[in-house]
Amino acid sequence: MRDLGARLREVVRRARTPGIPTAGVLPVLPRELTYVPDPDPTDLRLDVAELLGGIRLDASGACVMVERRYEAHRTHGRRAVESYLPAAQAPLHLLDPRINQVSDWSRRLVYFDIETTGLSGGAGTIAFLVGCGWFDEEGFTVRQFFLAGPSGERVMLDALGAVLNGASLLVTYNGRTFDVPFMEMRWAFHRSPAATDDLPHFDMLPPARRLWSRRGPDPHDPLGAFTQEGCSLAALERRVLGFHRHGDVPGFEIPARYFHFLRSGDGSVIEGVLEHNRHDLLSLAAVMSQALWLAAEGPDACREPGEQVALGRLYEQAGLMDRAVHAYERAAAAGDRHASGGALGRLAVLLRRQQRYAEAADAWQGVLDLSPPGCRTLSPLECRAAEALAIYHEHRARDLPSARRYASVLDGAVSGRGRLDLDRRMRRLDRKLDQRAGGRKGTLEYE
């Protein structure tokens, strides 16, 4: 029996020889030797380019290019398409500090999104639709490359490389972990250099999660259950942009539609997939623009306190402490109990780092004041506030009775290591109070 190395060498040798099929292996041939069969006039796929309003990029029609333009004055959500073009001075570095190293990131942005036959990324998974979008003088242009057959993948990769050539920034949504690595794998499969190798990349998903994904009480649940607001692009369209898709193809249905097309040649099932991809690209540009606008305008431009808290964290990470304090203060005053608690907690930590201890204590007190009357169970944030206030009154304000009162709030709310720390603090405070009272233990009334 031959060893595995010999078998692999035989497979590669056969794949490099034109006209010799290799069962179960997609041939990897030099471009000048690639065999392109004559079109079959009975194949329904030959009509897909005409049906989709595109053109064939190869003789067999295995790769189809479709281009659409959204006029500048056309609205997408609450704003016109032309308003989503980011300005050169937009603070993109607040959303991703790595962009600081790219001086001309706004010169030619290319928005990028793919549709695949699955999410596993295995050898049998391909990107059958690749969409690119960019702004120009007339609006927003979307160019899509569709595989009517797997043999057109090499042509598609070459055409995609031509689009990305000269781009100043690649913009994706979850592209850092999926889209870009997936396409780089396909370039490697065809032994071609990846067009994304030296291209700066901005993934909008992490900033979107920081700005708009949060867990809070469901206002429609009388029991105060918690809900997790989704951060998919379709969800942000509705919530952030005010755009609602009608008759859209669900994402989970897209692979099945493509497999149906491969079996039947029915191109009509693909039209909705291309429209879904076009909406994703335009919404990606719009969501990015909205995030940049909020980062530039500040908390006064936010529509909800959760955005103000998220902006405060972005400013804090960038070292803009005054802007962070302002954002937290605006969120704390918004009247939303959940958002106000989080804002006051962040504000207290920030003020303490600036050695503004009395102001930090006021912020921690604000956290406790948000507790509903008669509430006996402390949240982790409230426990942290009570502990911080006990420390402040013991070591800064020198108000021992108040320090003990805040420490006693934690009784029954902590366990394990926290319980041991609390017991030590209570004994220390009792000892200090006894010393202050002249040793008359038990005569001091605790408020």
What does the pLDDT look like over 337-348, one tens digit per residue? 888 999 999 999
Examine the domain organization and report whether 311 and 419 are in the same domain: no
Examine the domain organization and report whether 194 and 315 are in the same domain: no
Whether the CB-CB separation of 290 and 241 falls below 8 Å is answered with yes
Mean pLDDT of the chain: 85
Q: Which of 79, 65, 69 is nearest to 138 (CA)?
A: 69
* Residue 23 within any structural domain of the chain: yes
Q: Which pLDDT band holds residue 187 (cuts at 50, 70, 90)?
A: very high
Mean pLDDT on 116-128? 81
- End-to-end CA gap in the chain: 88
Model pLDDT, residue 347: 96
Instruction: Collect all residues with Cβ–Cβ distance below 8 Å to 307 and sequence separation of at least 6.
Output: 211, 212, 294, 299
Domain end among 278, 297, 316: 297
Domain end among 275, 297, 319: 297
Kindly report which listed range (28-42, 56-70, 91-105, 387-401) carries the lowest average pLDDT score.
Answer: 28-42
Residue 221 has pLDDT above 80, yes or no: no
Examine the domain organization and report whether 21 and 76 are in the same domain: no
Q: Which pLDDT band holds residue 38 (cuts at 50, 70, 90)?
A: very low
* Residue 251 within any structural domain of the chain: yes
d(CA 119, CA 124): 11
C-beta atoms surrounding 159 within 10 Å? 18
The domain total for the chain is 4
Residue 101 has pLDDT above 90, yes or no: no
- The pTM for the full model equals 0.81
Model pLDDT, residue 100: 80
Helix (H) or strand (E) holding 392: helix 380-395
Whether the CB-CB separation of 295 and 95 falls below 8 Å is answered with yes
158 against 98, higher pLDDT: 158
The CATH number that applies at residue 227 is: 3.30.420.10
Residue 239 has pLDDT above 80, yes or no: yes
* Residue 339 within any structural domain of the chain: yes
23 against 54, higher pLDDT: 54
Residue 43 has pLDDT above 90, yes or no: no
Three-state DSSP at 291 gives helix
Residue 228 has pLDDT above 90, yes or no: no
Q: Which pLDDT band holds residue 415 (cuts at 50, 70, 90)?
A: confident
Residue 400 has pLDDT above 90, yes or no: yes
Examine the domain organization and report whether 342 and 279 are in the same domain: no
Which residues span the domain enclosing 328? 298-370
Mean pLDDT on 198-219? 82
d(CA 94, CA 206): 12
* Residue 36 within any structural domain of the chain: no
* Residue 34 within any structural domain of the chain: no
Letter string b/e over residues 349-361, b meaning 16 or more CB atoms within 10 A of that residue's CB = bbbbeeeebeebb
Examine the domain organization and report whether 129 and 58 are in the same domain: yes
d(CA 240, CA 279): 15
Helix (H) or strand (E) holding 224: none
Model pLDDT, residue 334: 87
Examine the domain organization and report whether 271 and 361 are in the same domain: no
Query: Percent of the chain, pLDDT > 70?
Result: 82
* Residue 62 within any structural domain of the chain: yes
Instruction: Collect all residues with Cβ–Cβ distance below 8 Å to 173 and sequence separation of at least 6.
Output: 113, 203, 204, 205, 208, 233, 280, 284, 287
d(CA 372, CA 350): 25
d(CA 111, CA 285): 7
Q: pLDDT tens-digit profile of 348-388? A: 999 999 999 999 999 999 999 998 776 668 889 999 999 99
Query: Percent of the chain, pLDDT > 90?
Result: 68
Examine the domain organization and report whether 74 and 9 are in the same domain: no
* Residue 221 within any structural domain of the chain: yes
Model pLDDT, residue 114: 97
Examine the domain organization and report whether 21 and 52 are in the same domain: no
* Residue 380 within any structural domain of the chain: no
Mean pLDDT on 98-115? 92
Q: Which of 54, 11, 50, 183 is nearest to 114 (CA)?
A: 183
Examine the domain organization and report whether 73 and 178 are in the same domain: yes
Q: Which pLDDT band holds residue 77 (cuts at 50, 70, 90)?
A: very high
Model pLDDT, residue 40: 52
Domain end among 249, 272, 297: 297
Mean pLDDT on 278-300? 97
Examine the domain organization and report whether 318 and 404 are in the same domain: no
Mean pLDDT on 319-332? 95
Q: Which pLDDT band holds residue 439 (cuts at 50, 70, 90)?
A: low
d(CA 292, CA 91): 6
Examine the domain organization and report whether 242 and 224 are in the same domain: yes
The CATH number that applies at residue 352 is: 1.25.40.10
Distances (CA, A) of 243 to 118, 141, 172, 233, 287: 27, 19, 19, 11, 11
d(CA 351, CA 396): 14
Residue 49 has pLDDT above 50, yes or no: yes
Model pLDDT, residue 225: 36
Examine the domain organization and report whether 288 and 337 are in the same domain: no
